[in-house]
A and B are shown apart, each in its own frame.
Chain A
Amino acid sequence: MLGYIIQRLIQAAFVMLAMSALVFVGVYAIGNPIDVLISPDATQDIREAAIRHYGLDLPLWQQYLAFLGRLLQGDLGRSFVLNIPVLELVLSRLPATLELALAAVLMGAFIGVPLGIYAGYRPESPASKAIMAASVLGFSVPTFWVGLILILTFAVNLDWLPAGDRGPTVEVFGVGWSFLTREGLAFLALPALNLSLFKLAMMVRLSRAGTREVMLSDTVKFARAAGLSEFTILRRHVLRLISIPLVTVFGLEFGSTLAFAVVTETIFSWPGVGKLIIDSITSLDRPVMVGYLVLVAFLFVTINLVVDLSYALLDPRLRRGRRA
């Protein structure tokens, strides 16, 4: 197991290296790098000083190494607009996004998986057909549009939940969280639901397909022959058997949930990194864009790693095989 972890860590480091190279080429080489590093309003003297300071007169590979060096020290530059270090800015916004994304993914799993198992268990029932039709909608309808409808329905017409913003947070370990108070939860509910719908549809489809397959297997037949109740079979056998692909997708989708938070945060004025990147794009705050990208890439690689490792934990065949 340890050897496997080390092997995966080395792989992750390589992917991270490739990602940083892509970001570097994308923003530093294609765009005018000086625009990225200092404000367009700066004087000629400052510009030239900056060019020397950042080594922009050096060959590209040396620049990349220097960029990597700064990256490793956690130096992602300063925001033009807010004039604070990018890392600090992004990290201060990250908890809000993480909380939102986590709430969305959990909602997707806890609602989607049971619905999907039911739809796979009774594929011909009208309820299952309704669930599947709804999942097609969940896949097709753009997130931003669902967000608008949610606001229109629950905030404007029914006036049950707030239409946007984050509301009050409770400080734990120096970070503010919404889910600890009733009011915070009310603010979290609509954005989380909005962000979860796509994942929910995906979880429904995956668990339905998995359940249909497992229900036809000899494992289920044997469990029935042993007199197990249908509920026990679904809960103990089916859930465990379909959980392996589900966890993989669950983890990978957590990454794309972070990305799609961009849209949801914009609609609901949720103060996370997604709103930050949109604001930085509209205000051409390039260091923030670069910082965000590097950080998201890092999160992606980490998530992939965690998913791979938990995969090994869930599937005993893999676990023992790797240990041998």
Chain B
Amino acid sequence: MAGFWREYRENWVAVIALAVVSLVVAAALAAPLITPQDPYDLANLNLMDARRPPGFVGSGGYAHWLGTDAQGRDLYSAILYGLRISLQMGIAAGAVALAIGAALGILAANAGGKIEPAIMRVVDLQLSFPAILLALVLVAVLGQGRVPLIIALVTAQYAYFARTAYGAATAERQKDYVEAARATPLPGRRVVLRHLLPNCLPPLIVVGTVQVANAIALEATLSFLGLGLPPTEPSLGMLIANGFQYMMSGRTWISVYPGIALIILIVAINVVGDQLRDQFNPRLRR
């Protein structure tokens, strides 16, 4: 573990990215403590403060450092709360997709027979179909809200985990120690839990990191298209969408600041994921 961190530290870009991710997560967790306003409490909002530029001191008596949106929300507060939602959705969807996908992939690798090709055919078919379309249709069929959104994100993403787990598990299965473990009278389940799962984890973690970023981007995209969460609890995508119509009139901050927050988060997660991929990939190892 110490060696892993030492190798990670060699890439200073990845170190900065990790710091940014930690900082964003911490800020999102502490959002109620470090923001002047609860942007979801309609009683707090004053339309007199709407669409004010950064630095404007509103009716609350404090300065809106990033300006306000069309409902008079303090953008700084709204962005931190939006990051909270984005992270929640991304991590929840990523975790569920990882659990389902890994289970399916390892099952397929172990089951053999007819189950193996059946599962992997569906997975491959779905991989060739763009995630955004699936998510779009599911949200349309299931309606809006957190649970439908997570279902849509999971459906769009589990196949990546299944592919990864399947690949890692079949590669691992052919190694001698798993064969040896199978030859002992241990029940099959223990072989899977003790041996296969731990060895499938590194690639799954890499895919998981990237997929959390993808889930956040996908959620933002769906919200931007008006198919995400209800407008009373704007996520970053919806803040950007709402600001879009004011962009032409020069009030760019409503869209631009939430967008920058979103991009910093996604890029940072992806950089961390890239570095993890390089470190876990034995082919790139010296």
Q: Is the CB of B220 within 8 A of A142?
A: yes
CA of A296 to CA of B270, assembled, Å: 30
Q: Is the CB of B266 within 8 A of A281?
A: no
- Which residues in chain B, 241-286, are within 8 Å of chain A measured between CB atoms? 244, 247-248, 250, 252, 255-256, 259, 262-263, 266-267, 270-271, 274
Query: Known contacts A262-B225, A263-B221; is A148 also within 8 Å of B137 by CB?
Result: no
Point out the residues of chain B lying under 8 angstroms from A142, CB to CB: 217, 220-221, 224, 262-263, 266
Q: Is the CB of B128 within 8 A of A304?
A: yes
Q: Is the CB of B267 within 8 A of A260?
A: no
Point out the residues of chain A lying under 8 angstroms from B139, CB to CB: 281
Q: Is the CB of B140 within 8 A of A289?
A: yes
Point out the residues of chain B lying under 8 angstroms from A136, CB to CB: 267, 270-271, 274
Q: Is the CB of B132 within 8 A of A148?
A: no
Q: Is the CB of A281 within 8 A of B259?
A: no
Query: Known contacts A136-B270, A300-B128, A300-B129; is A266 also within 8 Å of B240 by CB?
Result: no
Nearest CB of chain A from residue B223's CB, rounded to whole Å: 10
A277 interface residue (CB < 8 Å to B): yes
Nearest CB of chain A from residue B212's CB, rounded to whole Å: 12
CA of A255 to CA of B140, assembled, Å: 21
Q: Is the CB of A141 within 8 A of B221?
A: no
**Which stretch (A25-33, A102-110, A169-177) binds chain B?**
A25-33
CA of A71 to CA of B169, assembled, Å: 40
Contact count band on A: 35 or more
Point out the residues of chain A lying under 8 angstroms from B221, CB to CB: 142-144, 263
- The A interface is mostly helix, strand or loop, or mixed, namely helix
Nearest CB of chain A from residue B236's CB, rounded to whole Å: 10
Residue of B nearest to A293 (CB): B137
Q: Is the CB of A259 within 8 A of B240?
A: no
Interface residues contributed by chain B, number (CB under 8 Å): 36
- Which residues in chain A, 9-56, are within 8 Å of chain B measured between CB atoms? 15, 18-19, 26-27, 30-31
Query: Known contacts A148-B240, A148-B259, A281-B227; is A140 also within 8 Å of B267 by CB?
Result: yes
A145 interface residue (CB < 8 Å to B): yes
Nearest CB of chain B from residue A204's CB, rounded to whole Å: 14
Nearest CB of chain A from residue B156's CB, rounded to whole Å: 11
B125 interface residue (CB < 8 Å to A): yes
Q: Is the CB of A145 within 8 A of B263?
A: yes
- The B interface is mostly helix, strand or loop, or mixed, namely helix
A252 interface residue (CB < 8 Å to B): yes
Point out the residues of chain A lying under 8 angstroms from B250, CB to CB: 156
B213 interface residue (CB < 8 Å to A): yes
Option from B125, B137, B270 in Cβ contact (under 8 Å) with A289: B137
Q: Is the CB of B267 within 8 A of A262?
A: no
Can you list 25 residue pairs at the A/B interface with Cβ under 8 Å?
A: A136-B267, A136-B271, A136-B274, A139-B270, A140-B263, A141-B266, A141-B267, A142-B221, A143-B221, A144-B221, A144-B224, A144-B237, A145-B259, A148-B247, A148-B255, A149-B259, A152-B252, A259-B132, A259-B133, A262-B132, A262-B225, A267-B244, A281-B139, A282-B227, A300-B129
Nearest CB of chain A from residue B221's CB, rounded to whole Å: 6
CA of A148 to CA of B251, assembled, Å: 13
CA of A30 to CA of B142, assembled, Å: 9
Point out the residues of chain A lying under 8 angstroms from B203, CB to CB: none
Query: Known contacts A15-B125, A142-B217, A260-B130; is A156 also within 8 Å of B266 by CB?
Result: no
B167 interface residue (CB < 8 Å to A): no
Residue of B nearest to A145 (CB): B259
Point out the residues of chain A lying under 8 angstroms from B207, CB to CB: none
A96 interface residue (CB < 8 Å to B): no
Query: Known contacts A136-B274, A256-B130; is A262 also within 8 Å of B136 by CB?
Result: yes
B226 interface residue (CB < 8 Å to A): yes
Residue of A nearest to B219 (CB): A142
Residue of A nearest to B139 (CB): A281
9 more contacts with CB within 8 A, not counting A18-B125, A260-B132, A282-B226, are A26-B141, A139-B270, A142-B262, A144-B225, A148-B240, A255-B130, A259-B133, A263-B221, A293-B137
Residue of B nearest to A304 (CB): B128
Q: Which 10 A-B pairs have the closest CB atoms?
A: A259-B130, A256-B130, A281-B140, A142-B217, A140-B270, A259-B133, A140-B267, A144-B224, A145-B259, A140-B266
Residue of B nearest to A301 (CB): B128
Option from A144, A262, A267 in Cβ contact (under 8 Å) with B133: A262
Point out the residues of chain A lying under 8 angstroms from B129, CB to CB: 297, 300
CA of A145 to CA of B262, assembled, Å: 9
Interface digits, B129-163 against A, CB 8 Å rule (1 contact, 0 not)?
A: 11011001101110000000000000000000000
